Amino acid sequence: MLCQLTNPSEGADQEVRLDLETNGGLFLPEGFEAEALVNRLDGQARHIAVDNNGDVYVKLREAYEENGNAVLRDTDGDGQIDEVRYFGKYPMYGRYGTAMRIHDGYLYFSSQKTVYRQKLSPSEIVPKSDLEEIVIDPNEPPEREHVGKPIAFDNEGHIFVPFGAPSNACQNPKRTPGQPGVDPCHQLDTYGGVWRFDADTPNQSQEDGVLFATGIRSLVGMDWNSADGNLYTVMHGRDDLLRMFSNHFDGWESALLPAEEFLRVTEGADFGWPYCYYDQLQGMKLLAPEYGGDGQIVGRCSDYNLPIRGFPGHWAPNDLVFYRGNQFPERYQNGAFIAFHGSTNRAPYPQSGYIVGFIPFADGQPSGPTEIFADGFARVDPILEAGDAVFRPMGIAIGPDGSLYVSETEHGAIWRIQFKGDKASFGDPQLAAMEARKELSHVRTPDPVGDNLQPTGLTGGALTYESYCSTCHQSNGEGDGARFPPVAKTDWVTGDKTRLIGLTLDGMEGGALVNGETYNNVMPQHSFLTDQEIAEVLTYIRGSFGNSASAVTEEEVRRRRNFYE
């Protein structure tokens, strides 16, 4: 089953064979061992679930032969996956459908628009039952920001589904430097929160649910903690502090802030989006700059619920699971495992995250600092561009024997992590090596000067690109492979100049096909740049990153801008 991958950190000809590496290439606390169940999966992987018989169900990142799901089985009990089947033909719309959970004998999963389920049968590796639509997003088309639909179940027959905010901070137009936010933000009427539905009723629309909590920008990971009977989520914080409010924030602050938030979500809670964000460095909820904030003002944000923990900015916590197994040492019982997919927009500082973290809990509260439980996914340090990371953790699941399963998005690799040590003697000494890894650049707080990767002496279009474009499209022009498209070797850049100028001035939202891949993220308008700056940066990208196209003149930008004004 295991195939060969190329490791860019060791040269294009170096092969990565997870089955030949200790712990499948991962770093773990002493006493834990990992093995790669699969090295590559057609369609890649997002969230996963493990059935009582050990079958691993996978929500695919991209459809494979029109199928959105896969299932992996060890047929002979030797611990190795020897059968992979693909199933589930439903509209996926894009790469951000997520969720794969098993609940009450059903397999639940989601696209960007719909939460589905199928009845599982012990005799069937692929469910043959009808595909039911449980919750349907009424918005057409589902091409907007923050469309992920993770799910969680309480103990009373409910399913929780988020409807992510369709903007960064409720601006109109979106992501515009200096533009104030709409106040009140009416997007909160139908977005930016978690709704509760009946877990067994098909064809529910948003209006059939109950708004459970609001002020939540974007969720990709959720879980119900049966130990204290509460819903928990991990929220992605807003972006673009430097690009949009350089009068208040510098590049270092924009790389580290705002926090990714770990939330205990109780009914009626309001976490303050878009008016507020959490600053984990100050330990405070602060007023967003779109609403008059400057990085210090609290204002109305004292009225909103606080997270139980703030993680470094842009780490992308994409799954959350409370440990309920019996295999691991006692310190892990009822604690939270979180998969950090890793940053894409920390330039000019190294990209960060790309780990599985753990937070111990006691009496319903975090009882210790965040630990690195699994590292080594990225294979490189420092991580200069998001595309340099070989693997990026995404999904977590607990197996019937208490093993922890981890999926990743870039190739579809899946690991099983087991504890083979002495549970009675497990303690801080067994965590020492993982604590030392916190000093690596993809985990530590970057030094404002020493870790700044921006080349010195940049001028003209190169400087404008690094200041306003590289956080998304990356310094090498290759994009991040998921949210942000490349500017390298694409007709969007080297083709029609008028279209390219218009895209820069006006921005774009919705599906764009770039080099055979569809990207649904927002391209913010950059009309705040002068005609000269736009001409320089477009000339730069048309002649860089392997591109070879004619220059864009200041007059061409002026004509295009004036035509629509």
Ranges of the chain whose pLDDT falls below 50: 1-14
Cα 563 to Cα 302: distance, rounded to the nearest angstrom:
46
Is residue 445 in a domain? no
Both tokens of 76, joined, read: 């002979």
Helix (H) or strand (E) holding 244: helix 241-244
Is residue 14 in a domain? no
pLDDT tens column, 124-160: 999 999 999 999 988 766 667 899 999 999 999 999 9
Question: Last residue of a domain, which of 439, 473, 503?
Answer: 439
Which CATH number characterizes residue 479's domain?
Answer: 1.10.760.10
Is residue 503 in a domain? yes
Whether the CB-CB separation of 17 and 2 falls below 8 Å is answered with yes
**Distance of CA 163 to CAs 199, 267, 307, 366, Å?**
16, 16, 19, 27
Per the structure, the complete domain to which residue 44 belongs is given by 22-439
Nearest to 323 by CA among 250, 241, 397, 261: 397
Is residue 33 in a domain? yes
Which CATH number characterizes residue 347's domain?
Answer: 2.120.10.30
Is residue 2 in a domain? no
Nearest to 37 by CA among 530, 329, 418, 370: 418
pLDDT tens column, 201-227: 999 999 999 999 999 999 999 999 999
Question: Last residue of a domain, which of 387, 407, 439?
Answer: 439
DSSP state of 7: -
Nearest to 216 by CA among 199, 231, 205, 227: 231
Is residue 52 in a domain? yes
Is the N-terminal amide bond of 173 cis, ω within 30° of 0?
A: yes
Q: Is the pTM of this model over 0.85?
A: yes
Which residue type is seen at 487? V
- Same domain (yes/no): 503, 392: no
- Same domain (yes/no): 109, 203: yes
At 510 the pLDDT is 67
Is residue 286 in a domain? yes
**Number of Cβ within a 10 Å radius of residue 556:** 18
- Same domain (yes/no): 122, 253: yes
- Same domain (yes/no): 424, 509: no
Cα 98 to Cα 107: distance, rounded to the nearest angstrom:
13
- Same domain (yes/no): 404, 520: no
At 140 the pLDDT is 64
- Same domain (yes/no): 378, 505: no
Cα 117 to Cα 365: distance, rounded to the nearest angstrom:
32
Residue with tokens 């972006």: 239
Strands 158-163 and 152-153: antiparallel
- Same domain (yes/no): 165, 114: yes
Cα 213 to Cα 232: distance, rounded to the nearest angstrom:
11
What is the number of domains present in the chain? 2
- Same domain (yes/no): 152, 198: yes
Q: For every residue of 113-131, which 3-state class applies, written as one string?
A: CEEEEEECCCCCCCCCCCC
- Same domain (yes/no): 425, 547: no
- Same domain (yes/no): 420, 466: no
% helix, strand, coil for the chain, step of 5: 20, 30, 55
Whether the CB-CB separation of 339 and 405 falls below 8 Å is answered with no
At 142 the pLDDT is 60
- Same domain (yes/no): 398, 470: no
Is residue 380 in a domain? yes
- Same domain (yes/no): 414, 367: yes
**Distance of CA 449 to CAs 349, 380, 383, 458, 491, Å?**
10, 21, 17, 17, 37
Nearest to 295 by CA among 243, 250, 345, 249: 249
